[in-house]
Structure 1
Amino acid sequence: MDLIYFNNVISIYAPQIELQGLYRVVAVSSDSTTLAKVESGDFKVSSLRKVSIKTLELLEEQDLIHAVELISTEKSKSSSQLNQNEKNIFDFRRKVMEPFFDSKLLEDLLLKGITIGRTVEDLAHKNDCSKKAIYNWFGQLCLHGFTESSLNPNFRNCGAPGKPRHWNPALELVGRKSNELRVNGTEANPQIGVTEFAYNRVLELYKLIKSPKKTDEDVYHEIIEILYVSKYEKKDNELVPVLPKEGTFLNRRQFKHLVDSVNKIEKLKLSTTTGHFERNKRGLSGKAWQHVAGPGHLYAIDSTIADLYLRSSINRAWVVGRPIVYLVVDFWSTAIVGFYVCWTGPCWDMAKVAIFCSCVDKDFIADQWGFTNQLYLDPMPTLPHEILSDRGEYLSKAASQTAINTMFSLSYNPSRRPDLKGLVEVLNRIMKDQQYAFVPGAIDARRKEMELRKYDPDSSVLTLNEYVKYLTIIFNTYNHNADRRNRLDVDMIADSVIPTPAGLWSWGHKVGLGYRKHTPISTMIKELLPTAPASVNRDGVYFTNQPYQSQLSLTQEWSANARNFGSSRIKVHYFPGTMSRIWWEGGASGLTEFTLAQTATTKPFISTDEYLDALMVEKLRSKNLEFQKTFNKLMRHFQTSKIISEAKAETERADLKRQQEVKPSIRETRKREANINQQLNDENVKSNQFHSNQQATENDLYENLINQVMLDSLEYDNEN
């Protein structure tokens, strides 16, 4: 057997025993050999064929075996021709597969019953690689020869990340074969591959057509029609595209593979709007407090509808609705410097009140709300250098004029870009999250579970004033407890800065980074509080139908002037959160304060909006009240008319009965009436005297009985 030796390639033609083709001798013993077919590119260990030596000798005698020289151009590179990456791979493969170059080992593994799987498992564990890779490399040795060059890496058809393998129509389509081809051996409509032209053109059209409103499937259909549909059929005056033959255009799987090669960020931008990407998907490039010099330089203001239902301060049985909450936040320290809760808005008048609450003395605000526990920061906030806001209600001539008069700057975010003042948006969410689990009537509108978004307005319990107290506690807790350790640099740590918003606020002002300026309270009232007309009449000064008083109006006798010379109107400033005070621009100090009079029909700490709502409710009920009044008057008229008609009828009957008698004069009639009344009075007096005597007798008997009991008690005590 000159042809049967290790690593030799032979050609066998023995169809009767299913041996036909080129085979490599992998292992040889005295009585058998193991052959590996080298024509197929898909090698498996299970395809190794064990053949007896006698069978091969018989075939050789019949001249059915011939020696063949097999030259593998793919593995013809020497190690010196490999680049560094290829050389590293080659060295690793050679190290792992070194035992398989030993023909004796192969004989033991393949012919003497020792399992090859055990050896592969040991090598995989020893060299930290997969068993699949070792089987693959063993297949390369069987196909290309048991030499080191057979382990050379070959990337000709492997592609690489970002480097696609374009299809050449002159070559066979690479990749997994279709099920039809694998089962039947042929394919009725073979699928074409992706040429370089199709690859570039599909990606070009995808980037052109793709939009947030179109899915990838919609884009696929449009691209197929553009690139591959060349015929149209006219049916019922409509052009219907004629699809090309199956397999002659890209299928859905190929299209998806092409689309997946598009850069992920670029694909994300194509799938959404530019604004949404900039707000929610863009990379974060900095911090909100960057480029802000220190505390007090830049405030951000924003409004939101509270996820909470409130009750009326006038009648708790009334559910008023959800209030508007304004937040004012310092950018550098992230501290909440002020807030305001109202029923009106969003509007610039209410935004001004929020700024007023942030910058005015806290004792003054405490007097307005009626409770002392207010937001506390040291030092107290003042008007800032700049206020950042959305466009909305803040972009107005009134806002610009207020900024000029109070000497602060206004800056605005671009349209639909709330993310540029995301700090306030986050604090809005924190406020809503804090109240949902603890406050009755709260709403969790952002929950994914639809069942947990349900709410019951009737379960609400807080009034506006009580909600302000609640938020004050929440915001004070945030200012003095929120973790800001990530803000501390080495200098702050060395200076023992408290890592909270309030701590950063205090330290920033302590080292001279803060911005503060004095603004008189009269100026802030004039510029930041809304105005409304008040009337001066004979009863005093009235605002929203409620009386107000001050020493100035009494000294200057405003009511006397109104009584004698007519009423007048004045413009006053008011704090919408309560009705306790109003201010008039006049007097010696330039601003006169009026307080709610004791004769007022409203409470001082009820908001103006709630009081006006109550008046509207009363007006709505006035229709029913008017109907009731009219009904009562009609009933009175009916009853009086009945009495009069009955009296007329009796009088007529009496006159007819006594027509023949002599009628007494009026004087005689009155005298008779007086005698009758006197007799009735005498009888009543006698009856009263009888009852009085009877009562006196009963009283005397009762007193005698009590006296006797007391005497008996005294005698008993003396005896003992």
Structure 2
Amino acid sequence: MLLVNDVLEYLESDNHQVRILWISPTGENTVTFEINNPKAMPKLVKTNILVDEINEGVVKLVPDPALKITDPSLISEKAKNKRDENWSLICEIVRDVPAIFLKSKRHSLIQTVAQKHSMSHVAFYRLLRRYWARGQTVNALLPDYKNSGGKGKVREANPSVKRGRPVQLGSLIGMNVDESLKKFFRIAISRRYAQKGKRFSLAGAFDDMITDYFSDATFDELDDELVLLKQQYRKTGPPTYDQFYYWMIKEADVLSIKRSRVGDKAYNKDMRGLPGTSTAEVWGPGARYQIDATLADVYLVSSLNRLKVIGRPVMYMVVDVFSRMIVGLYIGIEGPSWVTAMMALSNTAADKVEFCASYGIQIDEADWPCKALPAVFLGDKGEIASDKIETLTKNFNVNIENAASYRADWKGIVEKLFDVIPQKFKAYVPGYVRPEPRQRGEKDHRLDAKLNLEEFTQIIITCVLAYNNNHEIKGYDRSVGLVRDNVLPIPIDMWEWGCQNASGVMRSYPAESVQFALMPTHEATVTVHGIKIFNLYYVCREILAENWLDRARQIGEWKVTVSYDPRFSGNIYLHHSKAPGGFVNCTLSERSRAYRLGSFWESGHSFDEAKIASANNRISRTDATSTRNKRIKDIVSSASKAAEAASKSSDVSDTAIVKSIIGNRSEERRHNRREESFKLGTAPIPAPGDVLKFPGPRKDDYSSPDIKEMLAGFEGGEDE
């Protein structure tokens, strides 16, 4: 199934990629746009032609090359203002679909708006092409300031003009660093500073370079040899130490130099990093999703310790208004908030086959085929009104609607699900909250809790699958098309019918991009043990290859931005501009291996418990410390008294005592050898005990008893 914003690549042409801008409500026609052609215009094609080309292998679906998740906090105010200005210019006409895609109507639309804003047609077409080529989102209109200037590039200098800050003191004009000068710097660093043994300091290597390459030997009147600066450098002066240091830091691999200076063994011992010991207003599916949360009426236990009751979980559900299909869910123990809402939002775009498999439930894609974002999300102000929702609206062109306060009926479809779903499992689940008050002497239902978070989620997934595929919705007001085609009001049937007959608004984006954009971010610290966040340490191949841990140990710690999923502490996602997708996956290091299978909530609870236990143990530690110190003092005091007594009875001088240390050591060694040597056979041998015979395995005997066995049986009966 083709979706809006899908990117198709023609295999027989170089760099020929088209984006699907629009699909007609009937699904018969599709508008495409060639994203790499600076003069491209929207093109109307038959949908079945595109499908045939895909089936024939002429065209293939490819990842969106223009998709880039942009953190609003990283966008400058100037860029935001320019983006909003651009959007205000074209927002009227891009919403006029399909007219804007038709050549016969597009020119008049642009002419009207261009005259209104006193702009040229060329400028409008430039904005439209950028908007269409980059995914039809507001952020597609951000200016490309990153391409301006020459950040990181070495500029060619005019030899006659001194670069940099003017000389403040003295009459020397200074000199520019060109390629020939940098050659001397490299020689000084490689042949002097980067030599094993630390013979030259950096300043020493610089001084030696000045002596060798910028000075000449001469003689004074007394024939004493002098080394003076060459005449050609007396006006400008030699290169400065600051210039030498700047280019060393800019060009040289400082960590490799340190390894060379101290040697591999010392570097590995003292300087390397230590990583070891580590989810009648709509016309089809996707037109509007409703999202809401409730506190599940069941008590759960911890996945780390089943003896610990952790309370009632929060249950989020996302439902498609048209089909009543549950398209996303999330179960957690954090209260309703953006953090938990974003889990359910990301789950709407996730592959449900993989999602169910992560909980040990095997399904086919046809069982739960929902993995796209809608045109509109409707939710509560508390979660959906968060500032972080801007990431969703700007990057994925999803509109947000908030229900008014105390108006749960605005989200009646998803609210009703919180009555329907629990009815399917409450009779079987231990720890379920009973509606009637507990009677005197009756067992507390909280003590009946047996399920952990993962097991309860498995139950909810099972109920959702049954609801989506089998639940017939009573009283559903079917549309004309549903009645005509005799479609039963079962969510999966209405979803499939709608995708074929009334689609065109669902947005296709990679699940990872949606999850990364929605996950909460936090400032972490790069340390010698890894990236530290919430007292846990993480590593990955990229930071090890770039020697981040070495830098943290030698230069100092620094802060980085990471995204994380509160449900699982085994991974975090480091924001990395050079990585595909803008992030790098980091895993728990061996130092934090005990928390690989838990969540951040559970690991935080574990750390809090450890702190409480440590505080409660303070008196015992104090007593043990005091006892140890007292015993040490007693031993030292006794030894001191014995030494003083021996000293009074001896007239041996201090010099003689020092000279006899070696001899005294030999005498003491001989004595210890005699006392500590093994002396076998000298201890008394204990008397041998009685040997008891253990009976072997008994074999069944079915033969008739003889006269002795019969008499023994009678005697035993008399004893009883």
TM normalised by structure 2 equals 0.49
The structure whose Rg is larger is: 1
Q: What's the TM-score once normalised by structure 1's chain length?
A: 0.49
- In terms of fraction of residues, the more helix-rich structure is 1
1 or 2 for the larger relative contact order (CA 8 Å, sep ≥6)?
2
